[in-house]
Amino acid sequence: MISQTRMIVQDSLDALLEDTAFLPGLEGEARKQAFTSLGAILSTPNHLHKSFLRVALENGSVVRIPAFRVQHNNALGPYKGGIRFHESVNEDEVINLASLMTLKNALHDVPYGGGKGGIVLDPRAYSEKELHLICKKYVQYFSDILGPDKDIPAPDMGSGEREMDWMMAEYKSIRPGQAYKGSFTGKSVINGGSLGRREATGKGVYFTFRYLLHDFLQKQREFLSNSESIFAKTALDYDNSESPLTIAVQGFGNVGSVAALEAYQCQHLQNKVVAVSDRNVTLFNADGLDIPSLIKFTSLHGGDLPTTELELAEANVKAAIQNRSDVLYLDVDVLFLAALEDQIHDTNKGKIKARIIVEGANAPVTSEADEYLSNKGVIVIPDILANAGGVIVSYLEWMQGRETQFYSEEEVYRLLLEKMKNTMDTILPAFFGDPHPLRQNCYIHSVMKLSTVLYRQGKLY
């Protein structure tokens, strides 16, 4: 996976090298050399920190748990990115996710660099007391490199506000008397977190899709009708469709369930969420699923969707129970991917029927699959564009911590959607005006910003 981000960054640099309107001060050999330097800088993290946390378990045994913090790039501000708690975490994955954070923050004008952390464990296999100890150890081992103006972690897969509260408290006790509210984001509201942070990623994911297919389309119908882009045709086909758009959502956690609820409640587009899935099942109903009832059920059952007729009756939901991977191959208009990475890849790409795919998770579509789908006119709204709601509200939380002034939930959502709208308004005209897929357009934009800043900071010579 690591080479994929690198490859797209390199393609973006190659395109920019030829574009003489970009950094016109750089010419000839000096230009070539500067672009080679940019390739080297952006394809490698600044720092890779690794430790083995020594943790005494409740059964008396002592274990060593591998843990990482990768600091990819801080040209635009302090390193920023979540800490993933998952048994499959590995060095390459954390490096790739950290570089995606650099690109994501640059794309949305969030004044941060990119970082990511990871702890190799299955959080379900540890008691609350043990997890608390693991979080404290993580901060103890990495406290020198973290801080509100250095590197600011947040939740990621497998972690949430409970872990951020514990980590911030440990940071505070290691550095008494120093500013600590901005050391971690994604905290609970009572502990300095922001209203709306939990829902932010899912809301932003749905918003990018709605904005593309409704708001932007309404404003730019003529431009799209005159465009030669195959993607413009895909968008206009949906616009002309008489029947409601059918939606399937893979993953029903913090991101997928919120995106599904947004779709269910959407007043702007005629929608039907016909399928949702989690690690156990896919639930399907051609007439549309009752998303609020499913959310209520999962909140009472450890986050899991109903898996039997009995549980469906308890949830008061009508649905057919299917295999968990079926969600990917349904004959739907739109597919939201809000589970894990590498879900659509070389071997299953031909089975995908949706014409719009939205990446709620990080890297759920591999670059081969993306290229194949894009060639067929499928619009893939990429992770760095669609799932930035989390880090945008993290930024609002960090600012609120500094100012000790707190925004209402309404204000948080207004600022979040305004930021995402600004990005979409910058990216979409280019996307519908050239033949590149949306991911490539986003990367080019981020790489342009990072290159200009690195050049002006004198880092290229």
Nearer to ligand GLU, 70 or 315 (CB): 70
Q: Is residue 379 part of the contact set for ligand GLU (CB under 6 A)?
A: no
Select the residue interacting with ligand GLU from 82, 113, 382, 401 (CB under 6 A): 82
Nearest to 334 by CA among 388, 279, 270, 265: 270
CB of 416 to ligand GLU, least distance (A): 12
Q: Is residue 386 part of the contact set for ligand GLU (CB under 6 A)?
A: no
Active site residue 116: yes
| Local structure of 382: helix, strand or coil | coil
Q: Is residue 362 part of the contact set for ligand GLU (CB under 6 A)?
A: yes
DSSP 150-183: TEEEEE-TT--HHHHHHHHHHHHHHSTTS--GGG
Q: Which range, of 208-216, 302-310, 314-322, 387-395, touches ligand GLU by CB under 6 A? A: 387-395
Residue with tokens 């709204």: 381
Nearer to ligand GLU, 63 or 415 (CB): 415
Say how far apart CA 356 and CA 213 lie, in whole Å. Answer: 10
| Local structure of 189: helix, strand or coil | helix
Nearer to ligand GLU, 102 or 246 (CB): 102
Select the residue interacting with ligand GLU from 391, 396, 416, 454 (CB under 6 A): 391
Q: Which residues in the 142-171 window bind ligand GLU by CB under 6 A?
A: 154, 156
| Count of residues that interact with ligand GLU, criterion CB under 6 A | 12
Q: Which range, of 57-65, 75-83, 122-130, 257-265, touches ligand GLU by CB under 6 A? A: 75-83
Q: Is residue 367 part of the contact set for ligand GLU (CB under 6 A)?
A: no
CB of 185 to ligand GLU, least distance (A): 5
| Local structure of 196: helix, strand or coil | coil
Say how far apart CA 44 and CA 66 lie, in whole Å. Answer: 21
Q: Which range, of 20-28, 55-63, 261-269, 386-394, touches ligand GLU by CB under 6 A? A: 386-394
CB of 449 to ligand GLU, least distance (A): 18
Nearest to 332 by CA among 272, 260, 251: 272
Phi/psi at 341 (5° precision): -75, 170
Say how far apart CA 382 and CA 399 lie, in whole Å. Answer: 27
Q: Which entry of 104, 116, 136, 272 is annotated as an active-site residue?
A: 116
Select the residue interacting with ligand GLU from 185, 257, 400, 423 (CB under 6 A): 185
Select the residue interacting with ligand GLU from 45, 78, 81, 158 (CB under 6 A): 81
Q: Which ranges of 316-408 does DSSP label H, i.e. alpha helix?
A: 367-375, 383-386, 389-403
- The alpha carbon of residue 213 and the mean position of all alpha carbons in its chain are separated, in whole angstroms, by 20
Q: Is residue 448 part of the contact set for ligand GLU (CB under 6 A)?
A: no
Q: Is residue 338 part of the contact set for ligand GLU (CB under 6 A)?
A: no
- The alpha carbon of residue 264 and the mean position of all alpha carbons in its chain are separated, in whole angstroms, by 21
CB of 244 to ligand GLU, least distance (A): 30
Token couple for 294: 């499913």
Say how far apart CA 294 and CA 347 lie, in whole Å. Answer: 31
Say how far apart CA 340 and CA 454 lie, in whole Å. Answer: 32
CB of 13 to ligand GLU, least distance (A): 23
DSSP 275-337: EEE-SSEEEE-TT---HHHHHHHHHHTTTPPP-SHHHHHHHT---EEEEGGGGGGSS-SEEEE
Select the residue interacting with ligand GLU from 148, 193, 196, 390 (CB under 6 A): 390
CB of 390 to ligand GLU, least distance (A): 4
Say how far apart CA 461 and CA 456 lie, in whole Å. Answer: 11
Nearest to 440 by CA among 111, 107, 213: 107
Nearer to ligand GLU, 151 or 333 (CB): 151
| Local structure of 194: helix, strand or coil | coil
DSSP single-letter state for residue 191: G
Q: Which range, of 44-52, 74-82, 311-319, 351-359, touches ligand GLU by CB under 6 A? A: 74-82
CB of 393 to ligand GLU, least distance (A): 7
Nearer to ligand GLU, 161 or 333 (CB): 161
Q: Which range, of 273-281, 326-334, 371-379, 390-398, touches ligand GLU by CB under 6 A? A: 390-398
Nearer to ligand GLU, 312 or 358 (CB): 358
What Rg do the C-alpha atoms of the chain give, in angstroms? Answer: 22
Nearer to ligand GLU, 112 or 431 (CB): 112
| Local structure of 139: helix, strand or coil | helix
Q: Which range, of 77-85, 225-233, 325-333, 423-431, touches ligand GLU by CB under 6 A? A: 77-85
Name the closest residue to ligand GLU (Cβ): 82
Say how far apart CA 208 and CA 215 lie, in whole Å. Answer: 10
* Catalytic residue numbers, as ranges: 116
Which residues of this protein are in contact with ligand GLU, per CB under 6 A? 80-82, 154, 156, 185-186, 362, 387, 390-391, 394
